[in-house]
Each structure stands twice: as C-alpha cells, then as structure tokens.
Amino acid sequence: MTARSNGDARTPGLRIVVCAKVVPKPEEVRVDEATRTLVRANVRSEINPCDMNALEAALELRDRHGGEVVLLSMGPPMAEPYLQVLEGVGADHAYLLSDRAFGGADTLPTCLTLAAGIRKIGGVDLVLCGEESSDGATGQVPAGLAEWLGAAQATYATEFDFDPQARRLEVRRELPGGFERLRVPLPAVISLKSGANEPRFLDVARLRAARARGGVTVWTAQDLGVDPAQLGLKGSATVVAGVGRAEGAERRRERISGPADQVAQALFERVWAASKK
Ligand SMILES: Cc1cc2nc3c(=O)[nH]c(=O)nc-3n(C[C@H](O)[C@H](O)[C@H](O)COP(=O)(O)OP(=O)(O)OC[C@H]3O[C@@H](n4cnc5c(N)ncnc54)[C@H](O)[C@@H]3O)c2cc1C
C-alpha cells in the first residue's frame, strides 16, 4: 500500500477502503457432512454485521475530515446488490472481486486477493475491517491484509480518530481488564469491534443515485494480475480434514404464555430443572 504524501492534492482527507463480506445468515447455515462444505442453497445472505461498524467508522472519518470511502469485497456475483445497498448507506463506490478462481480460498489467498484489489484501487491510506466474519470467524483477514500490504495494523479497535497534522490515527483497543491507546501511522489496517458504533441507515436517494451511476465495479483474477496458483483452493494452505457436531447443551425454543405470575413460575421451574442436569 503506498501512502500518499502530505502534498498530494487529490483529496483533502483519507482514501479509506472498507472490506465487507457477504455472509449467509448464521441461523440458516447447515454443513453437508458428506462433502464437509456449507450448504448455501436457499440460504439468505446479509452483510457481515460488524462490517457495518467498519463502514460507519469510515463514514464518520469522512464526515469530519473529508476524503473518500470505497467498499471492497471478494465473493460471488450475488454479492453485488448487497454492496449497492452499502453505497446507499454512504460509500462512494464499491469493488467486487469475483472469479471462479477465488473459490475455496482459506484466509491466505483471501488476504492476498483483497490486498491485490487494494493495490489496484491505489492511493489507499486506511483499510477498515470488521473484527471477524460470522461464517469463517477466524479474525485473521485484517492482520493478513496488513502483512501483504506492508501496513501498520491495530485489531479489535473500539474507537479511533485521525490527526490530520501528524497524519496518524489514535486508536483505542479494549483488552481483558483494561485498554490500550495506540498511535498508528498511515497506511494502516484497523479492525473494528462489533458494536463499536451505531451504523447509520440506508438513504434511498443515495441508493438511487448509486444505481444511476452504474453500480459496482467487478474485477476478475486477470484484472488483478495475480499468479493463479496463489488463488482460491489452489493457493490455500489449509484443508478441511473433518467436520463434526460439538457436544453441547441442546437448544430448544418454547413459548410460555399465560398470566405473568404463572409464566414466571413456569420459567423458574424450567431453569431450576436444567440447572440440576
Ligand atoms: C480449506 C478452506 C476452504 C474454504 N473454502 C471456502 C469456500 O469454498 N467458500 C467460502 O465461502 N469460504 C471458504 N472458506 C472460508 C474462508 O477461509 C473464509 O471465508 C475467508 O478466508 C475469510 O476468512 P474469515 O471469514 O474467517 O474472515 P475474518 O478474518 O473473520 O474476517 C475479518 C474481516 O475481514 C474482512 N473480510 C473477510 N473476508 C472478506 C471477503 N471475502 N471480502 C471482503 N472482506 C472480507 C471483513 O471486514 C471481516 O469482518 C474456506 C476455509 C478453509 C480453511
């Protein structure tokens, strides 16, 4: 990632890339135990929830300091309308990295591919990610991106601000039993804790304007100019050797209705019985 010099007059603020992943809704995900892959048919998707916190943080920085916020996602073509909705929330443009060659990627080629996209966007000062995805949930992508980009990194941030004079970020990270404040030089990759802020709503006029502009830019493996052997399943360093069901408490849903005192009594009896098992 090439940081811009203070004298660069292209945009007065920061050029920020927000990495957003389209994920299956967690409550609908099933694993095919024969093939050990996720069953995606008839599963609804959504933007990974904490990526909305990353977008909100980027928009707040742009509100305060000017600049530009672009979205970047690696995923299948069905991700496009989700990215357009994020343009409607406030991003200036969206890029989708989509190619069969990216399929089956573990975090290694995922980071390499996203980093290639960030380089191709060019002049990026700051990359913001969510803390982890709700499907893969490794939390490895932000750190991996920083590594491929040669950028500074701070993960699990709860707050941060930009010092335009020093052109650096002041980042607060929550730790067990405390917190730390970091001064992070640009270019940098920051991951945001879920719930770090309150994401704003979609603005329908913005969405219409985004659609009128022509929508999302899609780049393939060829556009990125990356060695195909480093991409997708071929470029992955891990293999899913097995999937199993974890032994754990069975989750049930039950509706208890009636007068409040009877509901409270019934609830107490169930909790008491469960605590004795
Ligand atoms: C052997 C193997 C095979 C796999 N095969 C598949 C497969 O076939 N299909 C599949 O969907 N997954 C597959 N996965 C899962 C895949 O590794 C992850 O989806 C991907 O690498 C990202 O990791 P994560 O979801 O843990 O992201 P995390 O590191 O938990 O995500 C942190 C943040 O990084 C950003 N981010 C992560 N992924 C993306 C993305 N794609 N685009 C934009 N931003 C992103 C987001 O801001 C996110 O909040 C496979 C994993 C392994 C180990």
Do the beta carbons of residue 93 and residue 87 sit within 8 Å?
yes
* pTM for this model (two decimals): 0.86
pLDDT for residue 181 is more than 70: yes
Asked whether 49 lines ligand 1 (CB < 6 A), one says: no
CATH number at residue 210: 3.40.50.620
Asked whether 84 lines ligand 1 (CB < 6 A), one says: no
Q: Is residue 98 part of a domain?
A: yes
Asked whether 71 lines ligand 1 (CB < 6 A), one says: no
| Structure token digits, residue 97 | 């990295």
Domain boundaries, position 155 = 14-230
- Please tell me the distance between residue 19's alpha carbon and the centre of ligand 1 in angstroms: 11
Residue whose CA is at the smallest distance from ligand 1 atom 8: 104
Name, in order, each residue with C-beta under 8 angstroms of 258's C-beta and a sequence gap of 6 or more.
266
Amino acid making up residue 228? P
When divided into structural domains, the chain yields a total of: 1
* Cα distance between residue 154 and residue 191, in whole Å: 7
pLDDT of 120-149, one tens digit each? 999 999 999 999 999 999 999 999 999 999
- Please tell me the distance between residue 246's alpha carbon and the centre of ligand 1 in angstroms: 22
Beta strand 67-74 pairing with 14-19: parallel
Nearest-CA neighbor of 11 among 122, 174, 154, 151?
A: 122
Choosing from 78, 106, 131, 218 the residue with most ligand 1 atoms within 8 A of its CB, the one to mutate for a pocket test is 106
Do the beta carbons of residue 172 and residue 154 sit within 8 Å?
no
Instruction: Report CA torsion sign: 183, 189, 194, 197.
Output: positive
* Cα distance between residue 31 and residue 38, in whole Å: 5
The pLDDT of residue 3: 46
* Cα distance between residue 143 and residue 125, in whole Å: 16
pLDDT of 217-237, one tens digit each? 999 999 999 999 999 999 999
The pLDDT of residue 276: 75
pLDDT of 45-66, one tens digit each? 999 999 999 999 999 999 999 9
Tell me the average pLDDT of the chain: 91
What's phi and psi for 54, nearest 5 deg?
-65, -40
Q: Is residue 154 part of a domain?
A: yes
Q: How many residues does the chain have?
A: 277
| Structure token digits, residue 91 | 């991003």
Q: Is residue 256 part of a domain?
A: no
What's phi and psi for 212, nearest 5 deg?
-65, -30
CA distances in angstroms from 85 to 40, 43, 214, 219, 268, listed in the order given: 21, 19, 13, 19, 44
The pLDDT of residue 1: 67
The pLDDT of residue 11: 52
- Please tell me the distance between residue 235's alpha carbon and the centre of ligand 1 in angstroms: 14
The pLDDT of residue 2: 55
* Cα distance between residue 140 and residue 120, in whole Å: 22
The pLDDT of residue 6: 42
Asked whether 105 lines ligand 1 (CB < 6 A), one says: yes
Choosing from 121, 133, 147 the residue with most ligand 1 atoms within 8 A of its CB, the one to mutate for a pocket test is 133
What's phi and psi for 159, nearest 5 deg?
-150, 150
Residues 15-38 have a mean pLDDT of 87
The burial of 119, by beta-carbon neighbours within 10 Å (0-12 exposed, 13-18 middle, 19 or more buried), is given as: middle
Q: Is residue 113 part of a domain?
A: yes
Asked whether 51 lines ligand 1 (CB < 6 A), one says: yes
Residues 79-84 have a mean pLDDT of 96
CA distances in angstroms from 183 to 106, 114, 196, listed in the order given: 31, 25, 18
What percentage of the chain has pLDDT greater than the value 90? 75
Q: How confident is the model at residue 5 (pLDDT cuts 50, 70, 90)?
A: very low
The pLDDT of residue 88: 96
pLDDT for residue 192 is more than 60: yes
Residue whose CA is at the smallest distance from ligand 1 atom 12: 104
Asked whether 243 lines ligand 1 (CB < 6 A), one says: no
Q: Is residue 262 part of a domain?
A: no
Do the beta carbons of residue 98 and residue 79 sit within 8 Å?
yes
**Using the 8-state DSSP alphabet, how is residue 104 labeled?**
T
pLDDT for residue 10 is more than 70: no
